[in-house]
Amino acid sequence: GAGVSQSPRYKVAKRGQDVALRCDPISGHVSLFWYQQALGQGPEFLTYFQNEAQLDKSGLPSDRFFAERPEGSVSTLKIQRTQQEDSAVYLCASSLANRNTEAFFGQGTRLTVV
Amino acid sequence: ELKVEQNPLFLSMQEGKNYTIYCNYSTTSDRLYWYRQDPGKSLESLFVLLSNGAVKQEGRLMASLDTKARLSTLHITAAVHDLSATYFCAVDLYILGNEKLTFGTGTRLTIIP
Protein backbone atom coordinates (compact mmCIF):
# COMPACT_ATOMS: atom_id res chain seq x y z
CA GLY A 1 0.00 0.00 0.00
CA ALA A 2 0.91 3.65 -0.17
CA GLY A 3 1.36 4.13 3.56
CA VAL A 4 1.57 2.39 6.91
CA SER A 5 -1.73 0.69 7.65
CA GLN A 6 -2.94 -0.22 11.13
CA SER A 7 -5.96 -2.20 12.23
CA PRO A 8 -8.28 -1.98 13.93
CA ARG A 9 -8.57 1.81 14.09
CA TYR A 10 -10.51 1.59 17.35
CA LYS A 11 -10.65 -1.17 19.94
CA VAL A 12 -12.63 -1.32 23.14
CA ALA A 13 -11.55 -4.07 25.49
CA LYS A 14 -12.83 -5.14 28.86
CA ARG A 15 -10.24 -5.14 31.59
CA GLY A 16 -8.46 -8.47 31.60
CA GLN A 17 -9.08 -9.17 27.92
CA ASP A 18 -6.24 -9.86 25.50
CA VAL A 19 -5.90 -7.69 22.38
CA ALA A 20 -3.85 -7.86 19.17
CA LEU A 21 -3.02 -4.81 17.10
CA ARG A 22 -1.80 -5.14 13.53
CA CYS A 23 0.62 -3.04 11.52
CA ASP A 24 1.28 -3.30 7.77
CA PRO A 25 4.40 -1.25 7.02
CA ILE A 26 5.27 0.36 3.73
CA SER A 27 6.45 -2.31 1.32
CA GLY A 28 10.21 -2.72 1.41
CA HIS A 29 10.70 -0.89 4.70
CA VAL A 30 13.14 -2.78 6.86
CA SER A 31 12.66 -0.92 10.13
CA LEU A 32 9.43 -1.00 12.10
CA PHE A 33 8.61 0.80 15.33
CA TRP A 34 5.77 0.76 17.84
CA TYR A 35 4.94 3.80 19.96
CA GLN A 36 2.33 4.42 22.64
CA GLN A 37 0.66 7.82 22.84
CA ALA A 38 -1.39 8.63 25.91
CA LEU A 39 -3.98 11.38 25.70
CA GLY A 40 -2.34 14.80 25.55
CA GLN A 41 1.18 13.37 25.49
CA GLY A 42 3.87 12.76 22.94
CA PRO A 43 4.43 9.25 21.57
CA GLU A 44 6.66 7.01 23.66
CA PHE A 45 8.87 4.31 22.18
CA LEU A 46 7.86 0.72 22.79
CA THR A 47 9.90 -1.51 20.50
CA TYR A 48 11.91 -1.67 17.27
CA PHE A 49 12.35 -4.34 14.61
CA GLN A 50 14.86 -4.64 11.84
CA ASN A 51 13.35 -7.17 9.47
CA GLU A 52 12.15 -9.97 11.73
CA ALA A 53 14.65 -9.26 14.49
CA GLN A 54 13.40 -7.37 17.53
CA LEU A 55 16.47 -5.28 18.33
CA ASP A 56 15.06 -3.14 21.11
CA LYS A 57 12.12 -3.81 23.38
CA SER A 58 13.20 -1.57 26.21
CA GLY A 59 10.06 0.56 26.02
CA LEU A 60 7.54 -2.23 26.58
CA PRO A 61 5.95 -1.28 29.91
CA SER A 62 5.42 -4.78 31.26
CA ASP A 63 5.64 -8.44 30.36
CA ARG A 64 1.98 -8.24 29.34
CA PHE A 65 3.16 -6.51 26.16
CA PHE A 66 4.57 -8.62 23.35
CA ALA A 67 5.42 -7.73 19.75
CA GLU A 68 6.39 -9.88 16.81
CA ARG A 69 7.24 -9.57 13.14
CA PRO A 70 7.81 -13.17 12.10
CA GLU A 71 8.36 -12.66 8.36
CA GLY A 72 9.89 -9.22 8.48
CA SER A 73 6.80 -7.46 7.18
CA VAL A 74 3.51 -7.35 9.11
CA SER A 75 3.87 -6.82 12.84
CA THR A 76 1.50 -7.54 15.71
CA LEU A 77 1.50 -5.92 19.12
CA LYS A 78 -0.23 -8.08 21.68
CA ILE A 79 -1.35 -6.93 25.09
CA GLN A 80 -2.42 -9.57 27.57
CA ARG A 81 -4.79 -9.02 30.48
CA THR A 82 -5.40 -5.40 29.54
CA GLN A 83 -5.55 -2.77 32.28
CA GLN A 84 -7.10 0.68 32.23
CA GLU A 85 -3.67 2.30 32.08
CA ASP A 86 -3.12 0.58 28.73
CA SER A 87 -5.70 2.91 27.18
CA ALA A 88 -3.84 4.93 24.56
CA VAL A 89 -3.23 5.28 20.85
CA TYR A 90 -0.72 2.76 19.55
CA LEU A 91 1.25 4.06 16.60
CA CYS A 92 3.29 2.02 14.16
CA ALA A 93 6.00 3.52 11.98
CA SER A 94 8.28 2.14 9.30
CA SER A 95 11.40 3.31 7.51
CA LEU A 96 14.04 2.16 5.07
CA ALA A 97 17.16 0.68 6.61
CA ASN A 98 19.22 3.80 5.89
CA ARG A 99 19.30 5.90 9.02
CA ASN A 100 19.13 9.09 6.99
CA THR A 101 15.56 8.38 5.98
CA GLU A 102 12.56 9.37 8.01
CA ALA A 103 9.96 7.16 9.61
CA PHE A 104 6.38 7.21 8.33
CA PHE A 105 3.60 6.74 10.84
CA GLY A 106 0.32 4.91 10.53
CA GLN A 107 -2.97 6.35 11.74
CA GLY A 108 -2.80 4.40 14.95
CA THR A 109 -5.11 2.14 16.91
CA ARG A 110 -7.03 3.81 19.72
CA LEU A 111 -7.37 1.29 22.54
CA THR A 112 -9.87 1.94 25.30
CA VAL A 113 -9.93 -0.45 28.25
CA VAL A 114 -13.16 -0.34 30.24
CA GLU B 1 18.09 9.18 29.98
CA LEU B 2 17.26 11.53 27.13
CA LYS B 3 14.78 14.28 27.96
CA VAL B 4 13.11 16.40 25.30
CA GLU B 5 11.31 19.52 26.39
CA GLN B 6 9.14 21.80 24.31
CA ASN B 7 7.83 25.20 25.12
CA PRO B 8 5.35 26.58 25.15
CA LEU B 9 2.96 23.68 25.68
CA PHE B 10 0.01 25.73 24.53
CA LEU B 11 0.06 28.67 22.16
CA SER B 12 -2.77 30.83 20.92
CA MET B 13 -1.84 33.36 18.33
CA GLN B 14 -3.60 35.65 15.98
CA GLU B 15 -3.50 35.21 12.25
CA GLY B 16 -0.68 37.14 10.66
CA LYS B 17 1.59 37.04 13.71
CA ASN B 18 5.00 35.39 14.04
CA TYR B 19 6.06 33.01 16.79
CA THR B 20 8.69 30.42 17.70
CA ILE B 21 8.38 27.02 19.35
CA TYR B 22 11.46 25.77 21.20
CA CYS B 23 12.73 22.23 21.62
CA ASN B 24 15.53 21.48 24.10
CA TYR B 25 17.08 18.08 24.58
CA SER B 26 19.49 16.71 27.12
CA THR B 27 21.81 14.31 25.24
CA THR B 28 24.07 14.79 22.24
CA SER B 29 22.30 14.04 18.99
CA ASP B 30 22.64 15.37 15.49
CA ARG B 31 19.25 14.32 14.22
CA LEU B 32 16.00 15.99 15.02
CA TYR B 33 12.55 15.75 13.48
CA TRP B 34 9.50 17.95 13.57
CA TYR B 35 6.02 16.44 13.20
CA ARG B 36 2.54 17.84 12.97
CA GLN B 37 -0.49 16.06 14.43
CA ASP B 38 -4.11 17.05 13.82
CA PRO B 39 -6.75 15.86 16.31
CA GLY B 40 -7.44 12.16 15.90
CA LYS B 41 -4.85 11.84 13.16
CA SER B 42 -1.39 10.39 12.90
CA LEU B 43 1.93 12.19 12.74
CA GLU B 44 2.88 14.06 9.59
CA SER B 45 6.58 14.62 9.03
CA LEU B 46 7.49 18.27 8.55
CA PHE B 47 11.27 18.52 8.76
CA VAL B 48 14.29 16.29 9.15
CA LEU B 49 17.33 18.13 10.50
CA LEU B 50 20.51 16.11 10.11
CA SER B 51 23.39 18.36 11.13
CA ASN B 52 24.42 21.28 13.26
CA GLY B 53 23.27 24.54 11.72
CA ALA B 54 20.69 22.87 9.50
CA VAL B 55 17.86 25.16 8.47
CA LYS B 56 14.84 24.05 6.48
CA GLN B 57 11.83 26.01 5.32
CA GLU B 58 8.47 24.96 3.95
CA GLY B 59 5.86 27.63 3.41
CA ARG B 60 5.31 29.59 6.61
CA LEU B 61 7.34 27.16 8.74
CA MET B 62 11.08 27.21 9.26
CA ALA B 63 13.06 24.82 11.45
CA SER B 64 16.64 25.06 12.65
CA LEU B 65 19.02 22.93 14.69
CA ASP B 66 21.87 23.94 16.99
CA THR B 67 23.45 20.72 18.24
CA LYS B 68 25.91 22.53 20.50
CA ALA B 69 23.11 24.24 22.37
CA ARG B 70 20.94 21.10 22.03
CA LEU B 71 18.18 23.33 20.74
CA SER B 72 15.85 23.31 17.78
CA THR B 73 13.33 25.96 16.87
CA LEU B 74 10.21 25.94 14.72
CA HIS B 75 9.39 29.43 13.53
CA ILE B 76 5.96 30.35 12.23
CA THR B 77 5.67 33.36 9.96
CA ALA B 78 2.40 35.19 9.37
CA ALA B 79 0.29 32.42 10.87
CA VAL B 80 -2.86 31.21 9.14
CA HIS B 81 -5.71 29.14 10.57
CA ASP B 82 -4.62 26.00 8.69
CA LEU B 83 -1.53 25.80 10.89
CA SER B 84 -3.62 25.01 13.97
CA ALA B 85 -2.38 21.60 15.19
CA THR B 86 -0.07 20.00 17.74
CA TYR B 87 3.61 20.12 16.85
CA PHE B 88 6.14 17.63 18.18
CA CYS B 89 9.88 17.59 18.01
CA ALA B 90 11.63 14.23 18.25
CA VAL B 91 15.28 13.44 18.83
CA ASP B 92 16.84 10.42 17.19
CA LEU B 93 19.16 8.36 19.37
CA TYR B 94 21.03 5.74 17.43
CA ILE B 95 22.75 3.43 19.86
CA LEU B 96 24.39 0.13 18.97
CA GLY B 97 22.49 -0.04 15.70
CA ASN B 98 19.17 0.56 17.35
CA GLU B 99 17.00 3.50 16.44
CA LYS B 100 14.44 5.20 18.58
CA LEU B 101 12.79 8.60 18.58
CA THR B 102 12.22 10.42 21.83
CA PHE B 103 9.39 12.91 21.49
CA GLY B 104 8.74 16.16 23.26
CA THR B 105 5.44 16.74 25.00
CA GLY B 106 4.10 18.72 22.06
CA THR B 107 2.96 22.30 21.50
CA ARG B 108 -0.73 22.75 20.87
CA LEU B 109 -1.03 25.68 18.51
CA THR B 110 -4.32 27.49 17.95
CA ILE B 111 -4.52 30.25 15.37
CA ILE B 112 -7.25 32.76 16.09
CA PRO B 113 -8.82 34.70 13.20
Q: Give A91's contacts in chain B (Cβ within 8 Å).
A: 42-43
Determine the distance in angstroms separating the CA of B3 from the nearest CA of chain A, rounded to an integer.
12
Strand partners, A105: A93
Q: Sorting pLDDT into bands at 50, 70 and 90, what band is A98? A: low
Domain span at residue A88 reads: 5-113
CB atoms within 10 A of CB A71: 9
Strand partners, A112: A12
Domain ranges of chain B: 4-112
- Work out the average pLDDT over A57-69: 96
First to last CA, chain B: 41
The confidence score (pLDDT) of residue B97 equals 59
Q: Which residues contact B84 (CB under 8 A, 6 or more apart)?
A: B109, B110, B111
Q: Rounded to 5 degrees, what are φ and ψ at A85?
A: -70, -10
- Most B-contacting residue of A23, A47, A102 (CB-CB within 10 A), to test interface: A102
Determine the distance in angstroms separating the CA of A37 from the nearest CA of chain B, rounded to an integer.
10
* A81 or B52: which leads in pLDDT: A81
- Work out the average pLDDT over A87-97: 93
b/e string for B94-110 if b means 16 or more Cβ within 10 A?
eeeeebbbbbbbbbbbe
Query: Is B103 in the A-facing interface, judged by CB distances under 8 Å?
Result: yes
What does DSSP assign to residue A103?
P
Q: What superfamily in CATH does domain B4-112 come from?
A: Immunoglobulins (2.60.40.10)
- Work out the average pLDDT over B73-92: 95
Determine the distance in angstroms separating the CA of B46 from the nearest CA of chain A, rounded to an integer.
10
Q: Give A45's contacts in chain B (Cβ within 8 Å).
A: 100-102
CB A52 within 8 A of CB A70: yes
Query: What's the CATH number where A59 sits?
Result: 2.60.40.10
Query: Is A85 in the B-facing interface, judged by CB distances under 8 Å?
Result: no
* 3-state SS, residue B67: coil
Q: How far apart are CA B86 and CA A33, in angstroms?
A: 21
Q: Which of B110, B88, B90, B111 is nearest to B102 (CA)?
A: B90
The string of pLDDT tens digits covering residues B24-40 is 999 887 789 999 999 88
The confidence score (pLDDT) of residue B98 equals 64
| Residue percentage of chain A with pLDDT more than 70 | 96
The confidence score (pLDDT) of residue B40 equals 85
Nearest-by-Cβ selection for B106 from A42, A93, A103: A42
Q: Which residues contact A74 (CB under 8 A, 6 or more apart)?
A: A22, A23, A24, A25
